[in-house]
Amino acid sequence: MTENLNERICEGIEQIRCFRKEEGTRLYIKYMRKEILYSLKAPYRDDLRVTGYRFGFGEKTACIVGALRGNEVQQLYICSLLVQKLKELEAHGHITQNHEILVIPSVNHYAMNIGKRFWAVDNTDINRKFPGIENGGTTERIAAGVMECIKGYSYGIQFASFYMPGQFIPHVRMMETAHSSASLANLFGLPYVVLRKPKPYDTTTLNYNWQISGTNAFSVYTNDTENINEESAQMAVSAVLRFLTRMGVLKYNCHGGYIASVIREDELTAIHAERSGIFRPILHPGDEVVRGQIMARILDPYEGTVRENVMSPTDGIVFFTHQKPLVNQKDLVFTMIRRLHA
Amino acid sequence: MIQTIATIELPVDERLVLEKNRLEPEQKTGREKRVSLVTGIHGDELLGMYVLYEVQRRIEKERHKLTGILDIYPAINPLGIDSINRGLPQSDIDMNHIFPGNENGNLTEYMASQLIDDMIGADLCIDVHASDIFLKEIVQVRMQKQDEAKLLPYAKMANADLIWISASATVKEATLAHSLNMMGVPTLAIEAGSGMRIDKDYGDQIVEGILHILKQEGIWQGETTEVRTPDVAYAEDVDYANANASGVFMPAVNIGDWVCKGQQIGEIVNALKGTVEEIISAPCDGKIITVRQYPIVYHGALMYRILRKNSLAK
């Protein structure tokens, strides 16, 4: 396999590196392949190019997808860190034989580049169009084009975002289907694994369709979406490298991470605002809380008086917090993991 | 009588209020049937505003002929309507994806649940949609196959040009129509015209249909006109022409036109190069039931829906 690496013709439209070089006595092999997996012409904008980075050769082992939405900057950043790290690992021969890893940092950067969240023309969400339709509408075609490239991998990892703006404890989320495996999700070494019963609108997400097509699919949530949070980005990169190491894909020395607690989404305690106004959180994801403790204050936006002290209904740990400075009455402001045992 | 269905406090000095108008007969017996007319789930669909206004106007002219209860819900997504947003402006959530809602949920789920609670018990609901800003549709009633037996008799009275029985976005799971149908309130979803516009002719056509249904249900004793006989089509009876190039779409046929397979029905042109990027041909013999209104297209953009001629022969 190493005899003719310089002549190896990589699949795809563009290949940026495929060479070997000697450095002292050590052999460095670099063959990260950059490919355009899907492209779409626009009337007047530059083409939309969905770019993939392949590492290793052989069986389609792991596929990692970043920003499916235009506001998922943190997800894009995590992928860029991962590309750097995988490039380095591959150069040192630390990707084990017969394993291919594909990283797709961004799909909807058309929206990202103009400050939109969804497809900029019709405001449709590509993550609600899977598995896509080859001859369907524009975002259905994009989803179908991407799906064609990412199906067949043993493991699928998406850096995802929640539909409401907020901060999470970093966790792995999975749809509960016949194909889901919480024990595999544990191997990321993140503090929590959250299982979600699919609702009708979930059936068009990437995660769900990956699972239905036979891929073990995981969504990794970090603290932020629209802003870069360095600490949680590094945590996400470590989690993916740890998982791939434990699955025998990488040779990588990493911290063991957490022994994850597996929780079901419907077991989380939701706390909604009873009043609207300026939201001033006191507690943050990961904080411990006791029943009756003030978690946030909601202030009158004109007079600064306290309209509501948001109180904890139970002992537990803060899992999610509302992030925007304003809050509507009824908005979800916290979710908590109840402490089951004293 | 204007009634408040739900109210929510917004962050700064404003309340979101969901309202309806209840029209009742002058002399009530307590056994009246109740029909709900609803529109404005999507903030860019405005045709229903005219329809609900006109139905009320005609009834008010002869109020003594109203023999049932009519609940009018003109603006289910008030924030979207008043800010020209299809979904909820704060979150981009499509309100027709969250029914039946959740009383203990967030703002949108709560509003949806309150609306459903208010409508439960109605004998019939008619949910008037327009298309979005990209398409223009003929007047049609949409329903899922599972509801065909229950809804088809009502749909045939609606003065529509088409009854389309398929799992379209207007009637699939988590929509108002689907939720109410599951809860025992027969609900017709009417779709016509374009987003952000009111086509008065289409509006009047729907008004005649609603009044006809109300009369058949014993709610309205006023004069009504004879209604059209609609085409009835299933999912497989409709063909699509999607763009295979990006550029500026120039249509060559109009809604309601008959076309032959292979006939040129439009072009996608490039205004920079002065070239034709794609000649669009009809994929089948049939009638144009949807035409794209917004000229800029990407690959995949829907330009026409065509009701197959051979399906009409069935």
How far apart are the C-alpha atoms of B277 and B266, rounded to whole Å? 11
B236 DSSP 8-state letter: G
CB under 8 Å to A24, separation ≥6 — which residues? none
Q: What per-residue confidence (pLDDT) applies to B159? A: 98
The domain boundary, picked from B229, B261, B290, lies at B229
Strand ranges across the sheet with A277-281: A306-311, A294-299, A277-281, A326-327
User: In angstroms, rounded to a whole number, what is the distance separating the alpha carbons of residues B60 and B197?
Assistant: 25
* Residue B189: CATH number of its domain: 3.40.630.10
Residues of A in contact with B9 (CB under 8 A): 275-276, 328-329
B91 & B154 share domain? yes
Which CA distances in Å does A188 have to A157, A256, A262, B100, B256? 11, 9, 12, 36, 57
Give the distance from residue A139's alpha carbon to the nearest chain B alpha carbon, in angstroms: 8
Give residue B80's Cα distance to chain centre. 16
| Mean pLDDT for chain B overall | 95
Count of domains for chain B: 2
Identify whether residues B225 and B240 lie together within a single domain: no
Q: Which residues of B touch A (CB under 8 A)?
A: 8-13, 16, 86-87, 90-93, 97, 104-107, 110, 132, 134, 172-174, 240, 242, 245-248, 270, 272, 296-302
Same domain, B42 and B58: yes
| Nearest-by-Cβ selection for B173 from A117, A137, A200 | A200
Whether residue B268 sits in one domain with residue B141: no
Q: Pick A43's closest partner by Cβ from B12, B107, B247.
A: B247
- With beta carbons under 8 A apart, name residues in chain B contacting A164: 91, 106
Are B210 and B250 members of one domain?
no
* Preferred mutation among B15, B249, B298 to probe A, highest tally of A CBs within 10 A: B298
CA A76, A81, A85, A87 dihedral sign is positive
pLDDT of residue A17: 40
Q: Residue A215 in contact with residue A154, Cβ under 8 Å? A: yes
Residues B185 and B277 in one domain: no
Instruction: Report pLDDT digits (tens) over B112-171.
Output: 999 999 999 999 999 999 999 999 999 999 999 999 999 999 999 999 999 999 987 777
- Alpha-carbon span A205 to B304, nearest angstrom: 27
Which of A203, A274, A276, A298 is the mutation pick for testing B, counting most B CBs within 10 A?
A: A276
Retrieve residue B160's tokens: 């529509």
3-state secondary structure labels for all residues of chain A: CCCCHHHCCCCCCCCCCCEEEEECCEEEEECCEEEEEEEECCCCCCCEEEEEEEECCCEEEEEEEEECCCCCHHHHHHHHHHHHHHHHHHHCCCECCCEEEEEEEECCHHHHCCCCCCCCCCCCCHHHCCCCCCCCCHHHHHHHHHHHHHCCCCEEEEECCCCCCEEECCEEEEECCCCCCHHHHHCCCCCEEEEECCCHHHHHCHHHHHHHCCCEEEEEECCCCCCCCHHHHHHHHHHHHHHHHHCCCECCCCCCCCCCEEEEHHHCEEEECCCCEEEEECCCCCCEECCCCEEEEEECCCCCCEEEEEECCCCEEEEEEECCCEECCCCEEEEEEECCCC
Task: Give the separation between CA A207 and CA A193, rounded to whole angstroms.
Answer: 15
- Same domain for B241 and B207, yes or no, is no
Nearest-by-CA chain B residue for A327? B11
| CATH number where B254 lies | 2.40.50.100
Place of tokens 């005219």: B50
Q: Tell me the chain A residues in contact with residue B299 when contact means C-beta distances shorter than 8 Å.
A: 40-41, 138, 141
Angle at B143 between CA B141 and CA B147, to 5 degrees: 135
CB contact under 8 A, A40 and B298: yes
The predicted model scores a pTM of 0.88
Cβ contacts of A266 on chain B, cutoff 8 Å? none
Q: Which residues of chain A have pLDDT under 50?
A: 1-28, 342
In sequence order, which residues have a C-beta less than 8 Å from that of residue B309 and are 6 or more positions away? B258, B284, B285, B286, B287
Quick one: B86 and B141 in the same domain?
yes
Cis peptide before A131 (omega within 30 of 0): yes
DSSP structural state of residue B225: P
Q: Where does a domain end: B166, B200, B229?
A: B229
3-class SS at B217?
coil
- Would you call B122 exposed, middle or buried from its count of C-beta atoms within 10 A (0-12, 13-18, 19+)? buried
CB B299 to CB A139 under 8 A? no
- CB–CB contact B298 A164 (8 Å): no
Does residue B289 share a domain with residue B189?
no
Question: CATH for A5-263?
Answer: 3.40.630.10
Contact B242 A135 (CB under 8 A): yes
Chain B: give the shortest CA distance to residue A153, in Å.
Answer: 27
For residue A137, the chain B residue with the least C-alpha distance is: B300
Q: Which residues contact A227 (CB under 8 A, 6 or more apart)?
A: A73, A74
Q: Look at residue A45 in the predicted model and tell me its pLDDT.
A: 94
Buried b (16+ CB within 10 A) or exposed e, A67-83: bbbbbbbbbbbbbbbbb
Nearest CA distance, A118 vs chain B (angstrom): 9
Beta-bridge partner residues of B37: B72, B126
For chain A, the domains span 5-263, 268-338
Q: Quick one: CA dihedral B218, B219, B223, B224, positive or negative?
A: negative
The C-alpha atoms of residue B132 and residue A121 are separated, in whole angstroms, by 12
Contacts with A139 from chain B: Cβ below 8 Å: 300
Best CATH choice for the domain A268-338 from the list 3.40.630.30, 3.20.10.10, 2.40.50.100, 3.30.930.10: 2.40.50.100
Q: Hey, is B130 helix, strand or coil?
A: strand
Q: What is the domain range of residue B305? A: 236-313
Minimal-distance CA residue of chain B relative to A322: B106
The shortest C-alpha distance from A290 to chain B (Å) reads 22
Most B-contacting residue of A138, A142, A266, A334 (CB-CB within 10 A), to test interface: A138
Are A138 and B132 inside 8 Å of each other by CB?
no
Q: Where does a domain end: B165, B195, B229?
A: B229
Query: Is A329 close to B106, i.e. CB distance below 8 A?
Result: no
Contact A193, A185 (CB under 8 A): yes
Decide if B246 and A42 are in contact by the 8 Å CB cutoff. yes
In terms of domains, do B168 and B247 share one? no
Partner residue facing A276 (CB), from B11, B173, B299: B11
How distant is the Cα of B222 from the closest Cα of chain A, in angstroms? 42
Q: Are residues B215 and B288 in the same domain?
A: no
What number is the ipTM of this complex? 0.87
Residues in A touching B300 (Cβ below 8 Å): 135-142
* Cα angle A286, A291, A297; round to 5: 70
**Segment A231-265, tens digit of pLDDT:** 999 999 999 999 999 999 999 988 888 999 999 99
| Mutant choice from B9, B268, B270, B290 vs A, greatest count of A C-beta within 10 A | B9
Residues of chain B short of pLDDT 70, as ranges, are 313-314
Q: Taking each helix axis from N to C terminus, what angle separates A73-91 and A230-246, rounded to the nearest 10 degrees?
A: 50
pLDDT at residue number A341: 57
Q: What is the distance between the alpha carbons of residues B79 and B81, in angstroms, rounded to a whole number? A: 6
Judged by CB atoms closer than 8 Å, whether chains meet at B299 and A301 is answered as no
Helix (H) or strand (E) holding B78: helix B78-82
Amino acid, res. A80: S
List Cβ<8 Å contacts ≥24 apart for A253-256: A255/A189, A256/A189
